[in-house]
């Protein structure tokens, strides 16, 4: 039950892009085509889940026991940056086809604030399910990370679909490019507001 | 290359360690001041605030600070948390010995800005109605048959606020000896059939 | 002197981080629910931007090319942590309101972007001024967006309420953030961009 609440909340109610505003830069940058949006979503999904696992363990077993929570920011960003590098190298060796699909997005992910945002959120925020507030345990944190990145993918691919249609239309000149995209996202965010109160 | 990275990291570590040591005391003081201010705001003037104590019940563990006047506890500042719309809503509630609410203050709140977050505006009707809220009235929103006027369009936040205050009053009554046990409801601030409002 | 001045002024219009470079969108959208929040976020970023620009312009000549990105990230993360500690100590209120978006300054593309594009090939003073200019431009944009959202959403400016009633709530919530930024960009494109 609690997993269900976490999943619904992370995908729809508190959608990372449309309600929490994390990872907006790549969202606006690579959402011109559905194919690139899918590739980016896949890469983000992979890195967020992996990074959350590693940072959660580092926080739990390294930072907290030594009272070094104030180093969270710097420790997490270094872990994420090196993790992205390792993933890139490993992927290149093991699965060249997957590397072809995700490779070009990987360097962009280090500075995607969604990754650092989720990593910090799972170790600092109290979540509410079943009527009380909890800190997440490892299993819940992993489910949250996975669900959040699925939510990222859903919003990204939906938006890319809208944007492909937008490209064929006569848009007034000052609106062309990002402004009309932002106004479209606003409508999407409005639609996602409808999910609030569900969990 | 390695040397350079090591050097940079060493310098950064030194800077951070130094800053941590420098700000340790101010941060502790700042947190203490916030807590003191929130306790002071919910208790009558001229009382001495005792040390932190805690009491357990079915609804969870409650931390409280007794307010002492002439060697006798006259009121309690109880820390009470309920689940609002956006997450936990944490309050400091000052309750007099007879179960009357003296005042309330918000410790932390993650409610929607413009809606539930209005519970943080200390001068609003929603907040002032709790001052002197007597034991004869019911700490529930009017929709649920109580005497608390909810914030417009924020029933769930108002319900959580009322529940947190009500739990705090129950704790204070127990501490004052007028109740046998702590009669608190657990965090479920939303009755099942009413989910999905707001 | 004119050149130094233009370094700062460039940040407002020509290199405006929000409307021209379109960097740092996450804090821009998330923290501008009110004018004061936008201003605080802008100033926090300004602080990191100036200090990291100074440090990186000093370090650039001695850091080998291969490791310059990791070094920059460490430097920026250090200043962000310093900022976190200082804010916790002296402005705990703002630290709580801005929450997650303070540590996220590390991955704000503006900071790393200025380090890469300007600070690593310019002198200390120029880099500091560039950081100041871009930081002020960012602060200005955030404050303007905050003011507009606060007026429409809560009928007040910097907490001073001049329109009675509730305001249009959507502007305080997520959709309003995208909408206001979108329309401001339209106006910017129409009147200020050459």
- The boundaries of the domain holding residue A60 are 2-193
Residue C85 counted as domain residue: yes
- The boundaries of the domain holding residue C26 are 2-146
Residue C86 counted as domain residue: yes
Residue A18 counted as domain residue: yes
Beta-strand (E) ranges in A28-177? Answer: 127-129, 132-134
Q: How far apart are CA C48 and CA C58, in angstroms?
A: 15
Minimum mean pLDDT range among A109-113, A163-167, A185-189, C82-86:
A109-113
Name the residue facing C107 among A21, A77, A190 (closest C-beta).
A77
What would the 3-class secondary structure string for chain C be? CHHHHHHHHHCCCCCCCCCCCCCCHHHHHHCCCCHHHHHHHHHHHHHHHHHHHHHHHHHCCCCCHHHHHHHHHHHHHHHHHHHHHHHHHHCHHHHHHHHHHCHHHHHCHHHHHHHHHCHHHCCHHHHHHHHHHHHHHHHHHHHHHHHHHHHHHHCEECCEECCCCCCCHHHCCHHHHHHHHHHHHHHHHHHCCC
What mean pLDDT, rounded, does chain B reach? 82
Residue B19 counted as domain residue: no
Secondary structure (DSSP) of B102-166:
EEEEEEE--PPTTTGGGGG-TTSHHHHTTTT--TTS--SBGGGTSSBPPPTT-HHHHHHHHHHHH
Work out how many domains chain B is built from and give that number. Answer: 1
> What was the ipTM of the complex prediction?
0.86
User: How far is B97 from chain A, CA to nearest CA, in Å?
Assistant: 28
Name the residue facing C185 among A20, A22, A179 (closest C-beta).
A179
Question: Per-residue pLDDT tens for A128-140?
Answer: 766 667 788 898 9
User: How far is C57 from chain B, CA to nearest CA, in Å?
Assistant: 14
SS3 of residue B74 by DSSP = strand
Would the CB atoms of B198 and A131 count as touching at under 8 Å? no
What would the 3-class secondary structure string for B6-65 be? HHHHHHHHHHHHHHHHHHHHHHHHHHHHHHHHHHHHCCCCCCEECCCEEEEECCEEEEEE
Chains within contact range of chain B (3+ C-beta pairs < 8 Å) = A, C
pTM: 0.85
Residue B25 counted as domain residue: no
Residue B87 counted as domain residue: yes
Residue A199 counted as domain residue: no
Name the residue facing B26 among C75, C78, C89 (closest C-beta).
C89
Residue B114 counted as domain residue: yes
* Residues in chain B within 8 Å Cβ distance of C96: 108
Question: Per-residue pLDDT tens for A169-181?
Answer: 888 888 888 899 9
Tell me the pLDDT band of C8, cut-offs 50, 70 and 90: confident
Work out how many domains chain C is built from and give that number. Answer: 1
Residue C186 counted as domain residue: no
Residue C118: name the closest of C1, C19, C23 by CA.
Answer: C23
**Interface size, chain B vs chain C, as Cβ–Cβ contacts under 8 Å:** 66
Would the CB atoms of A73 and C81 count as touching at under 8 Å? yes
Q: Which two tokens stand for residue C104?
A: 């996220």
Would the CB atoms of B4 and C86 count as touching at under 8 Å? no
Residue C48 counted as domain residue: yes
Q: Say which residue the tokens 């529940």 belong to.
A: B163
Question: Per-residue pLDDT tens for C112-129?
Answer: 888 888 888 888 999 999
Residue A153 counted as domain residue: yes
Question: Per-residue pLDDT tens for A65-95?
Answer: 988 888 999 999 999 988 888 888 888 888 8
Work out how many domains chain A is built from and give that number. Answer: 1
Give pLDDT, residue B35. 86
């Amino acid at each position: 039950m609690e997993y269900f609440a976490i999943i619904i909340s992370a995908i729809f109610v508190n959608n990372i892009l449309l309600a929490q505003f994390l990872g907006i830069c790549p969202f606006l940058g690579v959402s011109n085509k559905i194919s690139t949006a899918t590739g980016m979503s896949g890469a983000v999904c992979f890195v967020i889940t992996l990074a959350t696992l590693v940072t959660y363990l580092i926080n739990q077993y390294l930072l907290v026991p030594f009272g070094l929570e104030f180093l969270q920011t710097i420790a997490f960003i270094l872990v994420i940056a090196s993790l992205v590098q390792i993933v890139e190298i490993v992927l290149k060796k093991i699965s060249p086809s997957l590397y072809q699909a995700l490779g070009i997005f990987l360097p962009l992910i280090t500075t995607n604030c969604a990754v650092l945002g989720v990593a910090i959120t799972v170790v600092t925020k109290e979540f509410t399910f079943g009527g009380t507030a909890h800190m997440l345990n490892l299993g819940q944190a992993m489910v949250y990370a996975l669900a959040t990145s699925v939510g990222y993918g859903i919003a990204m691919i939906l938006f890319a679909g809208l944007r492909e249609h937008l490209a064929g239309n006569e848009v007034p000149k000052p609106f062309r490019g990002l402004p009309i995209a932002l106004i479209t996202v606003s409508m999407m965010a409005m639609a996602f507001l409808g999910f609030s109160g569900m969990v | 290359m390695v040397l350079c990275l090591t050097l940079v990291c060493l310098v950064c570590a030194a800077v951070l360690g130094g800053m941590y040591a420098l700000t340790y005391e101010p941060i502790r003081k700042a947190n203490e001041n916030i807590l003191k201010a929130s306790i002071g705001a919910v208790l009558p003037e001229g009382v001495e605030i005792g040390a932190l104590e805690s009491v357990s019940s079915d609804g969870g563990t409650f931390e409280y600070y007794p307010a002492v006047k002439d060697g006798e506890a006259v009121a309690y500042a109880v820390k009470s948390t309920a689940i609002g719309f956006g997450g936990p809503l944490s309050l400091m509630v000052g309750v007099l010995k007879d179960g009357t609410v003296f005042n309330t203050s918000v410790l932390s709140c993650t409610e929607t800005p413009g809606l539930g977050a209005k519970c943080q505006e200390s001068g609003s009707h929603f907040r002032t109605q709790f001052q002197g809220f007597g034991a004869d009235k019911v700490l529930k929103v009017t929709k649920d048959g109580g005497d608390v006027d909810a914030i417009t369009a924020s029933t769930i936040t108002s319900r959580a606020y009322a529940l947190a205050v009500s739990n705090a009053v129950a704790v204070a009554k127990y501490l004052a000896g007028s109740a046998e046990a702590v009669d608190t409801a657990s965090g479920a601030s939303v009755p099942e059939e009413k989910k999905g409002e707001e | 002197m004119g050149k130094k001045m233009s370094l700062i002024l460039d940040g407002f219009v020509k290199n405006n981080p929000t409307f021209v470079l379109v960097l740092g969108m996450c804090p821009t959208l998330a923290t501008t629910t009110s004018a004061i929040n936008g201003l605080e976020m802008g100033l926090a970023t300004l602080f990191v931007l100036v200090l990291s620009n100074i440090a990186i312009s000093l370090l650039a000549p001695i850091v080998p090319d291969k490791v310059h990105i990791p070094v920059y990230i460490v430097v920026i993360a250090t200043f962000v942590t310093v900022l976190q500690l200082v804010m916790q100590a002296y402005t705990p209120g703002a630290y709580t309101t801005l929450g997650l978006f303070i540590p996220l300054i590390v991955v704000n593309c503006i900071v790393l972007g200025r380090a890469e594009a300007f600070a690593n090939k310019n002198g200390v003073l120029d880099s500091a001024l560039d950081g100041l200019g871009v930081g002020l431009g960012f602060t200005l944009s955030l404050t303007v967006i905050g003011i507009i959202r606060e007026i429409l959403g809560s009928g007040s400016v910097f907490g001073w309420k001049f329109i009675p009633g509730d305001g249009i709530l959507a502007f305080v919530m997520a959709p309003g953030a995208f909408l206001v930024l979108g329309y401001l960009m339209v106006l910017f494109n129409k009147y200020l961009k050459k």
